[in-house]
Amino acid sequence: MVTDSQLLICCANKIQILEKTGLCSQITFGRYVRQGRKLGLDPKLFIQDLQFNEVPVRVYQPKATSDGPRRGILFFHGGGWVFGSLGKILPEGTSDSVVVSVQYRLAPEHKYPAAYEDCLNATQHFLQHLEHYGVDPARVIVCGDSAGGNLAAAVSQTLAGRSDFPKLRAQILIYPGLQALDFNLPSYQQNRGVPLLFRERAAFFALLYLNGDALHMQEVLEGSHIPPDLRLKYRKWVSPDNIPEEFKVRGVKPLGPTDFIAEVYETVKRFCEPNLCPLLAEDSVVHQLPESFILTCEYDVLRDDGLLYKKRLEDNGVRVTWYHLEDGFHGIISLYDYCGFSFPSGKRGLDSVVNFLKSL
């Protein structure tokens, strides 16, 4: 019998074969298969494709009457800043909310900060027009998975402390990627070859988003792209020392220092900007963030990004709900009940998100 993991590895290998034979690039193929679910007409929803500050969005509004203003959810899709579309999951439990799915510009055609700016502009427009959509200004949530979690965290940080917009009620970060300083954290070592996100792919996507190309990927993977003084500065936040010991029992080994390469740093120094790597935001920003939900998966290179951010939020007095899928892998939420895939842990993760939303 073919296991789920074997099937995922087989799919990943086929994509690599297509690129090597010149039939199709990984980006082209990935965009094709990740177009999102084609949602049929839902008699309970009024669906509109609009533009918020010139950013394409899809707005899902319940047709049923409500006793009062509804919850509002801004959703930023995942896909390494390279893939993804307006198609999204509408799980049971969000049907009483106004949901805005944001189609931000994609890399490599549109480099950082394009995706971040689109998500921020769309969010600001929504916050300025909540009354039009019947949304409670005290119950607006930003949500995203993977790269979308990165964008949700960056938008939340930018709006923290702002008095000209309603304060966000919460942020929901589903296996987010939050830093590009260290691709050798325990989760990167343990899960380097686990689908759906390999260690090399994580660095590849980050570089495509930053620069539009993946030059110097090997140096970035080795850690030669960050000066010693900055690495020391950020060690208080990005360090294996801040990862609980129970997450280090699988195949983790201490790595020696690597030689710093100044020329590489010059091409990637914006990795130190919090709008790209939210884990590097100052405490003065982090302590103003709203209540947070973080979902992590054991078999995910990005697991430790979520764990490190959880610690940062808690250290700054932010209330955090953390849900960890011990049998989960990167992308499992999007795969739940999709094209024949059905992973029980994906359903548990989805339910945890919905339960958190219902509590707000």
Residues marked active site are found at 146, 300, 330
What are 23's two structure tokens? 């039939």
Residues 6+ apart with CB under 8 A from 113: 275, 276
Question: Measured between alpha carbons, how far is 214 from 300 in angstroms, rounded to an integer?
Answer: 21
What are 271's two structure tokens? 């990795």
**Strand partners of residue 55:** 52
Please spell the DSSP secondary structure of 39-106, one letter per residue. Answer: ----TTEEEEEEEETTEEEEEEEE-S--SSPEEEEEEE--STTTS--S-----TT-TTEEEEEE----
Handedness of CA 23, 28, 30, 31 (dihedral sign): negative
Residue 206, helix vs strand vs coil:
helix
Question: Measured between alpha carbons, how far is 1 from 95 in angstroms, rounded to an integer?
Answer: 38
